[in-house]
Each structure stands twice: as C-alpha cells, then as structure tokens.
Amino acid sequence: MTSTQPRPTTYTPPAKQEEQVDYSQVLEDLSSASVRRNFDPYIDIQWDAPEMEITENDPRWILDYEVDPIGRHPWYQSLPREKQIKIGMWRQANVAKVGLQFESILIRGLMQYSFKLPNGDKAFRYTTHEAKEECNHTLMFQEMVNRIGMKTPGAKIGYRVISPLVPLAATTLPTVFFFGVLGGEEPIDHIQKDFLRTGADLHPTMSAVMELHVAEEARHISFAHNHLRETVPAKGPLQRFALSIAMPIVMRVLCGAIVVPPRDFEKEFDVPKSVMKDIFWRSDESKKFLRNVFGDVRMLAEQCGLMNPVSRRVWRALGIDGRSSRYRSEPLYTAS
Ligand SMILES: [Fe+2]
Ligand SMILES: [Fe+2]
C-alpha cells in the first residue's frame, strides 16, 4: 500500500510515481490485507470499560484549536467551558453520524458496482471486503453516536433526501462514483489523522474509533487511487476532459456535506450567521483547511492526467487548489 512509503529523498513528480504498479496484484494484495488485518468494533473496542464512560462536562470533548475549523474560531473560544464541551460533543457525534450516512451510501454503491462484474474479476473480492469493513464502521460510528446521546441528524437535509439515488451512480457513472468515494473518505481521513497527529487529549472512545477507522481507510483510499489510476487514463480525451472538471466539483461538494454542520447546529447553539460564514469558508484559516484536505487528490488528478489549464481553474475557483502531495498522507500544514 502506498501509505507505508517512506518520504522520498529527492522530489519525484507525482505523475511519475506509481506508474509501474500492477493493478491486478494490488487487488490481490489489498484483498489479502483485508483478511489478515481487520477489526470488529464489538471485539476491538471495549465500550463498557470504565475509562470509556461518557460523562457530562468532560473537557476532552472541547474542539481542538488546530484541527476543527469551529474549534479555532474566536466565537467558540470565547464561550463558557460548559458550552464548549456541549458543542464539542454535538459536533463530534454529528461528524460520526455524517460519516456513517456517507458509508451507508458507499456500501450500497459498492454492491451496485460489484453486481455487474464478470466472474473472475478480482475487484469483486476486494470491493466486497471493503463493503464488509464499511458495515463495521457504520456499526462503530452509530454506537459512538448513541453513547454520546445527543440529537444529531448528520448531513444536511438535502443530502439525506437524495441519498437513495447516489449509489446508482456506481453503475451509470462509475468513475464519478469513485470520485465521490474519495470526496467523502479523504476529508474524514484527513481530519482523523490530524487529530491523531496533534496528540490532542481526546476522549478514549473517540481515539479508539479513529485509530480503528484510519487503519482500515488506508486500504480503501489506496484502492480508490489505484482504481482511478488504472481506469481513467484509458478513457478518450473528451471523457477525460469532462472527468477533469467533474473531479474538483465532486470533491468540493462532498467535503462541504461532511464538514459543514446542518442548520440544527446553528439553532441548537445560537451560532451567529456571520460566525458560520467565517468558519465555512471565509476566514483565512478555513480556506487553508479546505485546500489542505485535497493535497492527495490533487496528486491523484495529476497522476490520472486530469490536471489541465481548465480544470486547474475549477480547482482554484472552488478554493481547493494548492500544492499536490508528493506522497499519500503528506502533511501540508505549511501549504498556503
Ligand atoms: Fe469507513
Ligand atoms: Fe472507507
């Protein structure tokens, strides 16, 4: 898997990386890894251990200044500690709820995709392993949401209404569907890795859930990258051009769906409209967050031949342009 690559000592253009990878071998390796290393949230997380208890007024739920765009806003910083904790619990439960809603769509899409694969196609085995792991993730996220015990709806109402139709894209527009897979997985993975990297004092339930999730997502993201690198360059020039425009749009829409809380958040905690606008995405810090989320996807776009003068403008217009990662999961804290 590419996530274990050491940092290169000399710069290699992203387009030149991974070009020798044998896709069929990747599918075999990822499938074997799914069997060798997988988790069950009801075996691997000790939900009822005393230290896992979720109690009121625990400061470990306060949103991290570095990682969460809400946590670093002066409005949040100025709130009484008790309200910061309540917002932190709501926010973290809601992100988990959006995550499980996204993964539920993903599972249905993967089933839709594998349904029409011919006998002997190695992608059938891998995508089915992945769907099984995502089922475990939805169980794990829902368990955490239930234990936090707040009324969190997850994604905004519009996304929830159209959710039954989205998995159909796995059959009609499979490449766009896999863009969508990355558009959801990359922001969640990016945020969770940042949490774990900063060493923030997290509640043990949160850290257990994140560690387990990040470990399995590495495989899923690796598959999506390899699948797109294998299939996109083989398409005709017109299709590739259309895909180069669709890619940043899908990324931006899905990142918003996952990171921006629904209206219920503003109502529940009396968040001023100007604060919401600042956080999503007017302030410089927020803009930087948005750009940094997609460093790996920009690298992938270059590797797939999907960066051209027009698509670069779309990435920029959507506020998600910037330097491409040199390897997957490269921290981009200094990127501007
Ligand atoms: Fe997942
Ligand atoms: Fe995943």
pLDDT of 285: 86
- How far away, in angstroms, is 80 Cα from ligand 1 center? 34
Q: Provide the terminal-to-terminal Cα distance of the chain, rounded to the nearest Å.
A: 28
Q: What does the pLDDT read at residue 98? A: 96
Q: What's the pLDDT at 332?
A: 66
Identify the pLDDT of residue 199: 74
How far away, in angstroms, is 130 Cα from ligand 1 center? Answer: 9
- How much of the chain exceeds pLDDT 90, in percent? 81
Task: Report the distance separating Cα 117 and Cα 168, nearest Å.
Answer: 15
Q: How far is the CA of 100 from the centre of ligand 1 (A)?
A: 8
Which superfamily, per CATH, for 23-317? Ribonucleotide Reductase, subunit A (1.10.620.20)
Which ligand is the nearest neighbour of the Cα of 96? 1
pLDDT in tens, 155-213: 999 999 999 999 999 999 999 999 999 999 999 998 888 888 887 789 999 999 999 99
Q: What is the H or E stretch that residue 93 is in? A: helix 81-115
pLDDT value, residue 65: 87
* Phi-psi category of residue 53: left, alpha or beta, with phi > 0 → left and psi -120 to 50 → alpha: beta
Q: Residue 10 pLDDT more than 70?
A: no
pLDDT of residue 325: 92
Q: Which pLDDT does position 5 carry in this prediction?
A: 42
pLDDT score recorded for residue 90: 97
- 82 C-alpha to ligand 2 centroid (Å): 34
Would you state the pLDDT for residue 333?
Answer: 56
Q: What type of residue is 226?
A: N
Angle between helices 237-259 and 81-115 (to 10 degrees): 150
Residue 19: the pLDDT is 53
Single out the residue of 70, 256, 72 nearest to residue 158, CA to CA. 256
Output the CA 137–ligand 2 centroid distance in Å. Answer: 8
**Segment 121-135, tens digit of pLDDT:** 999 999 999 999 999
Q: Give the Å distance between the CA of 223 and the centre of ligand 1.
A: 13
**Cα–Cα distance for residue pair 96/236, rounded to 1 Å:** 39
Q: Which helix (H) or strand (E) holds 169?
A: helix 169-172
Question: What number of CA atoms fall less than 13 Å from residue 188's CA on the CB side?
Answer: 33
* Ligand 2 centroid, distance to 133 Cα (angstroms): 8
CA of 75 from ligand 2 middle (Å) equals: 33
CA of 131 to the centre of ligand 2 (A): 8
278-303 mean pLDDT: 93
User: Within its chain, how far is the Cα of 52 from the centroid?
Assistant: 25
**CA–CA gap between residue 140 and residue 209 (Å, rounded):** 7
- CA distances, 295 to each of 21, 39, 164 (Å): 21, 28, 30
pLDDT value of residue 329: 81
Q: How far is the CA of 81 from the centre of ligand 2 (A)?
A: 34
Average pLDDT, the chain: 91
Centroid of chain to Cα 287: 17
Q: How far is the CA of 99 from the centre of ligand 1 (A)?
A: 8
Tokens of 131: 């769907």
If you measure from the C-alpha of residue 43 to the centroid of ligand 1, how many angstroms do you get, rounded to a whole number? 17
- Identify the sign of the CA torsion 18, 19, 24, 25: negative
Six token digits for residue 38: 């997988």
Contacts with 256 (C-beta within 8 Å, 6 or more apart), sequence order: 280
* pLDDT at residue 336 tops 60: no
Q: How many angstroms does the Cα of residue 213 sit away from the middle of ligand 2?
A: 8
Neighbours of ion ligand 2 (CB under 5 A): 185, 217, 220
Instruction: Kindly state the percentage of the chain with pLDDT values over 70.
Output: 93
- Tallying the residues shown for the chain, one arrives at 336
Cα-to-centroid distance, 138 and ligand 1 (Å): 7
**Which residue would you say has higher pLDDT here, 311 or 196?**
311
Is 90 exceeded by the pLDDT of residue 13? no
- Distance (angstroms) between ligand 1 centre and the Cα of 213 equals 6
Q: In the predicted model, is pLDDT for residue 84 greater than 90?
A: yes
Half-sphere exposure of 18 (CA within 13 A, CB side): 24
274 exposed, middle or buried (CB, 10 Å; 0-12, 13-18, 19+)?
exposed
Domain definitions of the chain by residue range: 23-317
User: Is residue 1 pLDDT above 70, yes or no?
Assistant: no
Q: Which of 58-62, 222-226, 230-234, 323-327 has the lowest mean pLDDT?
A: 323-327
